[in-house]
Structure 1
């Protein structure tokens, strides 16, 4: 029962701490650009305001448009439930497979693209086609990174892979260096960050994710924005706990869980600073250069797998 309570608590932490991570990213970015920084609690205020607003639906919107926010939010929560945050070996370990994780994220992308095309606006169709192009290029990189990790840990289970890396101690694996770089580039593309997308703009020539949700309002928009914040935290936790798992709790003691909570907080704050520096020094690239960006990420992940085969297995 304690383990199930911890699993539920970990999912709730994903749910309610994701807006705080988004607020931290915005605050650090404003400080780096010498602008007035909003409060860390501003994302919570924005969502509360959206939940209070009336939902406006397009005249010809079908059930796909109405149910997509709930499907996207639900799929994102299921994804968060299988990702080790503070502790490993929780009851959700049985379904904590990376292939399942990629499937949940693909389900959310599929329905978001369908909803973008459902109402028949030009922006929705444009954003959906761009999103599917990005997804088709990003998913192979994600899977290749997963296979590099799986070959090292002999499993695709997230919890067992994290535990393997944790028990291995401080080992410099060149394959992990290439894999983490590829995963970070995928995270930038999948979460709509610079240089692939810019979450702060609504210019029709550059937006991808925002183009698909322009027709949403009220609680529907709040759920989609909340899911996007959780997705950003999921990728940050994957990078932090798969390749840098030190501090995560392997036992269900108060001390171990406390150390795990502090460790993941510090790692997420550090990754947010890295993301802000990246977005500050990089410029938004043209859409047709995104395949080159993700192609380079695929090359890095492929090099990670080849490096593992050559150096670690003696192939």
Structure 2
């Protein structure tokens, strides 16, 4: 029995990481296609991001003169940390060999490590755009990371643990807590944090190259070829993982809690459906959203931090009762 549980848990980790890596470009393509249709355009198709990555991989890598290890290692750190987060977060199963290590603080630290690596790469180029984008990115990260911590911590109080698998399992067995004031507030705060962490509207516009509005794009302007492909893939994987985390915490139904292969297959299918629905909803909302002025972004993030703080307070009161 233990051997079966270990084999199924290992398969769950492998498959969910593979699903995130392979599905992330498709999610980006789906979101672009939804926006195109709502704007009255035909759109390039859902598989266009995969074709873009293949084209970039065939090109020659170009390294700007004067750059050091930070520039070259930035894309690798971004992709590797996101892959580790995809393995730790209970996207498809709560019984995996790494479930005991899926701690909230560790996951947020890995996300922050990828952000810092990309910011250092932007600074390493020595360009005005790189420094500007890195400065803006770290300003956003300084407000986003505490919000993610507090939002998920509010959900961890009833579970009595900061382990994400324990939090998700608690939500599956006690769905009432998800509809409680603490659950709704933490979900709202986490949703805003996901928008900021992944550089989506209204915090950032991933489709722009205007110097006054760029945040993420300003840091990666000097990348080309395979390095740019890694940066794009890492960003797409981060969006997929964070949407999957949001779905797992707010709507954990369907996630496998046993070692059944059938339950794992169903969980993977439901994961793809939930993330696709969230991505399509986000893309549809972006059609009607305008990007906030840069100096208004901290106000939005401070508001989400306040929601997370209220969620923690409400969770303490409700747990105390």
Instruction: Provide the TM-score with structure 1 as the length reference.
Output: 0.96
Query: How far off its partner does 1:296 sit?
Result: 0.7
The number of residue pairs the alignment matches comes to 314
C-alpha distance in 2, partners of 1:269/1:10?
15
**2:92 and 2:267 in contact (8 A); partners too:** yes
**2:201 and 2:291 in contact (8 A); partners too:** yes
C-alpha distance in 1, partners of 2:12/2:243?
20
More displaced 10-residue stretch of structure 1: 194-203 or 80-89: 80-89
C-alpha distance in 1, partners of 2:13/2:114?
22
Structure 1 residue 149 and structure 2 residue 155: aligned?
yes
Structure 1 residue 76 and structure 2 residue 82: aligned?
yes
Query: How far off its partner does 1:278 sit?
Result: 2.3
2:25 to 19, 22, 27: 19
1:166-209 Cα offsets, whole Å, 9 max, x none, are 01145521101000000000000110001110000001100100
2:140 to 134, 138, 147: 134
**2:95 and 2:259 in contact (8 A); partners too:** no
Structure 1: gaps (5+ residues): none
More displaced 10-residue stretch of structure 1: 36-45 or 187-196: 36-45
Structure 1 residue 61 and structure 2 residue 67: aligned?
yes
1:252 to 254, 259, 279: 259
Match of 1:201 in 2: 208
C-alpha distance in 1, partners of 2:27/2:89?
17
**2:91 and 2:271 in contact (8 A); partners too:** yes
Match of 2:3 in 1: none
2:187 to 176, 180, 197: 180
1:98 to 94, 99, 104: 104
Match of 1:243 in 2: 250
**1:89 and 1:160 in contact (8 A); partners too:** no
Secondary structure at the residue paired with 2:208?
coil
Structure 1 residue 7 and structure 2 residue 13: aligned?
yes
1:76-100 Cα offsets, whole Å, 9 max, x none, are 1111110112221111112111111
Secondary structure at the residue paired with 1:91?
coil
C-alpha distance in 2, partners of 1:6/1:58?
40
C-alpha distance in 2, partners of 1:243/1:177?
8
**Runs of at least 4 residues off by over 4 Å:** none
